[in-house]
Amino acid sequence: MKLKLIFLLFWAISISGNAQQTGTLLKTQLPRVYIDEEISLHFLSPEPIQYVDISTNDMIGDIPLENVFRVKAVRDSVSDLNGYNKSLGVVTIIGQKFIAQYDLWYSHDERQLKTQIEILPINTNPLEVGEIPMSDQELRFFATEAFKDKKKNKITQSTQYGITGKVNKIYTVDDYIFLDISFKNKTNLKFDLDQLRFKIEDKRILKATNVQSIEIEPEYQLFSTESFDKKYRNIYVFKKVTFPNSKVFTIELTESQISGRSLKMRVKYSDLLNADTL
């Protein structure tokens, strides 16, 4: 929890210098960045980019990667400027929790041209107020901290077809649950991962028609993999869930074969209540 507070405190202090008490931001207050028609400028975002607006047709841009915005001047729009500086418009970049805006100017002076700009907190404003959900960047930070923790409680364990699965530890941060899960393959046959499904199910199943199952999708997972030879460990993140003692949280691993191997583990609600804090 101390790590969480430090992280959020740093974020709040960083953006406070750019906050506008009037709730508005003038174009003259925006950071000025120079571009031309020959060199692409890349904005590097700390979070996946959700939306980009280019205010004029004098520029063209795209999002080649989820956290990279690429932009440059359109040749026909600047051909008659003869190298003179001119504002081409404003670009607006929105992440999961921030909005950033830049005033882009044309320049033919290479000394003014940049190829990369990191979007820093000082040049952003928050999108939401009140209770703010964690961004992918924050989830990755805490998932990495959980992965670095070598202490294991072995919450539950199951073995089938030479595959052993373990829930090593459960953590909480605010309204999020972090599950440290590992699998060990004791056979010489590589395990081709089909699905890892998470559900809330009845403890006791009297009839097949009476099964009540609710599938839950992770908000985030630290690694993505399609297969493993001997060992596989990952951190899965969920929003807080509650369920009665008559139900359990299940983890089901299946192999991508017609007659593939499968494994199922069960986590009691009391195990979630006893989770450690990061």
pLDDT at 85: 82
pLDDT at 82: 72
pLDDT at 86: 87
- Mean pLDDT value across residues 76-101: 88
pLDDT at 20: 46
Domain ranges of the chain: 26-132, 139-277
> What confidence tens digit (pLDDT) does each residue in 211-233 have?
568 899 999 999 998 899 999 99
CATH number of the domain at 139-277, please? 2.60.40.1230
DSSP strand pairing (163-173 vs 276-277): parallel
Whether 26-132 and 139-277 share one fold: the answer is yes
pLDDT at 208: 52
- pLDDT of residue 134 exceeding 90, the answer is no
Confidence band for 8, pLDDT divided at 50, 70 and 90: very low
Determine how many CB atoms are found less than 10 A away from the CB of residue 90: 16
205 phi/psi in degrees, rounded to 5:
-110, 110
pLDDT at 25: 82
- Mean pLDDT value across residues 31-49: 93
Confidence band for 19, pLDDT divided at 50, 70 and 90: very low
Determine how many CB atoms are found less than 10 A away from the CB of residue 164: 14
Measured CA to CA in angstroms, residue 43 lies from 31, 35, 62, 64, 72 at distances of: 13, 12, 11, 11, 11
- pLDDT of residue 202 exceeding 60, the answer is yes
Percent of the chain with pLDDT over 90: 56
d(CA 86, CA 62): 22
- pLDDT of residue 265 exceeding 60, the answer is yes
Confidence band for 12, pLDDT divided at 50, 70 and 90: very low
- pLDDT of residue 189 exceeding 60, the answer is yes
Residue closest to 166 by CA, chosen among 149, 184, 150, 142: 184
Q: Give 94 or 8, the one with higher predicted confidence.
A: 94
Q: Among all chains, which residue has been given the structure tokens 């931001």?
A: 25
Architecture of domain 26-132: Sandwich (2.60)
Q: Give 63 or 245, the one with higher predicted confidence.
A: 63
> What confidence tens digit (pLDDT) does each residue in 224-264 have?
988 999 999 999 999 988 777 778 999 999 998 776 889 99
- pLDDT of residue 74 exceeding 60, the answer is yes
